[in-house]
């Protein structure tokens, strides 16, 4: 249920006042004796009932305010409009006085807190003045620590430089060895090329010699063909070397 407005709260309060004083009646004229029924009537007249639609609640509140302006409520009829106004004034004065008392209490509490804070601050300052001054010693210790750390960093840098120089020297030493390996590799490549050339030359000489010896031992197809032509062998142009040899051997 939405939060009630101030006008709705006033209406509910007026209905409950009528119930308390026995002035609240139903539409049929019977006195209301059940507190729950009184609460339901107050919410319906204030337009704050959760059993009605928002539109009906607005209409109920407007009808109730019009009745209050005309002075037709049970409280106004039994006690008079002046009594109702006086009750409202008393309630307002009570709220104001309670607010003033609360303000006084708050002021007293604030003054006590301020006094406690000032006392705490004073005692803290006295303690700080009595305590020995160790800030200079701490600063000196911190300075010595920083110097030691700086010396350590310098030593580490020197070590790194020495290691870098050693690596460079090793690299220079490796370069001549690498050049020697390259020279040896080139020499091996040249020797391999020379061996391949010699092998090729021997193979060429051997092939030529074999061809020459073969020619010396047997006749070529051209020679066989010439002999077959002189003898008048038929079909000699279509014969190969073996067939020519066979035809001439007959």
CA distance 102 to 105: 5
Residue 249 has pLDDT above 80, yes or no: yes
**Residues contacting 140, CB < 8 A, separation 6+:** none
What three-state secondary structure class fits 25?
strand
The predicted model gives 55-74 an average pLDDT of: 86
Residue 136 has pLDDT above 70, yes or no: no
Kindly give the residue spans of alpha helices, DSSP state H, lying in the chain.
6-20, 35-46, 54-70, 74-79, 81-130, 135-217, 221-231, 241-248
Q: Which of 43-47, 150-154, 190-194 has the lowest mean pLDDT?
A: 190-194
Model confidence at 127, in pLDDT bands (50, 70, 90)?
low
Per the DSSP assignment, residues forming a β-bridge with 31 are 25
- Tell if the pTM clears 0.75, that is, is over it: no
Residue 60 has pLDDT above 60, yes or no: yes
Q: Which residues of 150-178 are buried (b: 16+ CB within 10 A; e: fewer)?
A: eeeeeeeeeeeeeeeeeeeeeeeeeeeee
């Amino acid at each position: 249920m939405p939060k009630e407005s101030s006008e709705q709260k006033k209406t509910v309060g007026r209905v409950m006042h009528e119930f308390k004083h026995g002035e609240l009646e139903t539409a049929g004229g019977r006195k209301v004796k059940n507190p729950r029924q009184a609460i339901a009537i107050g919410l319906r007249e204030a337009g704050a009932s959760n059993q009605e639609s928002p539109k009906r609640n607005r209409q109920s509140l407007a009808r109730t305010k019009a009745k209050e302006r005309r002075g037709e409520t049970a409280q106004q009829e039994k006690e008079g409009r002046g009594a109702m106004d006086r009750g409202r004034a008393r309630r307002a004065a009570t709220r104001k006085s309670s607010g003033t008392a609360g303000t006084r209490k708050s002021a007293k509490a604030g003054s006590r807190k301020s006094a406690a804070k000032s006392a705490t601050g004073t005692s803290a300052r006295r303690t700080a003045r009595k305590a020995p001054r160790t800030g200079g010693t701490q600063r000196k210790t911190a300075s010595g620590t920083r110097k030691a750390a700086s010396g350590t960093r310098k030593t580490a840098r020197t070590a790194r430089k020495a290691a870098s120089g050693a690596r460079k020297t090793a690299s220079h030493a490796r370069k001549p060895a690498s050049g020697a390996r390259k020279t040896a590799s080139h020499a091996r490549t040249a020797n391999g090329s020379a061996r391949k050339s010699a092998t090729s030359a021997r193979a060429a000489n051997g092939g030529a010699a074999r061809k020459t010896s073969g020619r010396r031992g047997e006749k070529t197809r051209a020679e066989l063909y010439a002999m077959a032509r002189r003898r008048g062998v038929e079909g000699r142009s279509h014969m190969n070397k073996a067939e020519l040899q066979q035809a001439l051997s007959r």
